[in-house]
Amino acid sequence: MADTSAYFNGNWIPTSELRIPVDDLGFLLGATITERLRTFRGEVFRLEAHLERLRQSLELVGLDSAKITGEVARAIPEFLQRNHGVIDADDDWSLVAFATPGSPRENRPTICVHGFPLPFSNWAAQYAAGVSVVISSVRQMPPDCLPPQLKCRSRMHFYLADREAALKQPGSRAILLDQDGHIAEATTANVLVYREHEGLISPPPEHILAGVSLGVLQELAASLNIPFTNRPLTPEEFCSADEALLTSTSVCILPIVECNNAAIGNRRPGPIYHRLLTAWSNLVGVNIPNQAQRFATARM
């Protein structure tokens, strides 16, 4: 594939030339605010929601939220325009925007927008087969250490949790509990469950990252007359749910079919998942699982 262009500190450069200095605070301290977006049919999905979350995260760490958000907002559509000839019209891409306080010697933030084809092969089979998860002993960071509303890359605990999950059950993903022992989120995804007599249940919003995809899922649930509740979830409730779901920008929605080596539901994707996935596909005008399978196969 031809090299793409990336936005870096006011300039457009080949993506292959992107470099972060070793004294950049994003590298030294993990002080990196980030947003990952995706396209559908070549258009960025829920751009304004991602920009608003970016702005809030920048405010939390004291960076110039208005200036940086505005810069990113201009760079994202220009990225698509500049790389139009590289992007397959039927394909969709992951777009990444990030900002750091920069290098102390330069006294200015580092701002970047880059992108790449969605790695569909990482999850294409999971739309039909589902995902296995392990509830990790690694907890979510306390809110007085790292606010859950902060979208950043200071995520060593995510790495440790996924490593623990993979050692316990190869191929599984980790679910983190909050400091009170309730279900919080997966690494890089929100989680929720479906219980027949209650509907969809998501952890309280003040305890988790405000997922853009979680918001979409709530809208779709309302359109399908599926009740949606926010409340604390115990690990026991999670594991005994009729259905459990992961939701994030790249994958949209995936079914969880196993937790701690025990079945969730009948160990197969359930009817609520299928209704929500179909509604999401209709919303964006793309058959989400078919697209993932097609491009996963094409890139093999």
Residue-wise pLDDT tens digits, 79-88: 999 998 887 7
Residues 6+ apart with CB under 8 A from 70: none
- Yes or no: say if 157 and 138 are a contact pair by the CB < 8 Å rule: yes
Residues 6+ apart with CB under 8 A from 210: 53, 149
Angstrom CA distances, 205 to 14, 24, 187, 208, 210, stand at 39, 32, 16, 5, 7
How would residue 291 be classed by pLDDT, with cut points 50, 70 and 90? very high
- Yes or no: say if 211 and 248 are a contact pair by the CB < 8 Å rule: yes
- Please give the share of the chain, as a percent, with pLDDT higher than 70: 99
Residues 6+ apart with CB under 8 A from 250: 36, 38, 94, 118, 123
Of 35-44, 86-95, 160-169, give the lowest mean pLDDT range. Answer: 86-95
> In the prediction, which pLDDT does 1 show?
55
Across 85-121, b (16+ Cβ under 10 Å) vs e yields ebbeeebbbbbbbbbbbbbeeeeebbbbbbbebbebe
Residues of each domain in the chain carrying CATH 3.30.470.10 = 5-118
CATH placement of domain 126-291: 3.20.10.10
CA triple 74-76-79, angle to 5 deg: 110
- Strands 228-230, 199-202: pairing is parallel
How would residue 49 be classed by pLDDT, with cut points 50, 70 and 90? very high
Amino acid type, 251: V
**Domain 5-118 is found in CATH 3.40.50.2300:** no
Residues of each domain in the chain carrying CATH 3.20.10.10 = 126-291
> How far, in Å, CA of 46 to CA of 230, rounded?
22
Residue 44: pLDDT over 60: yes
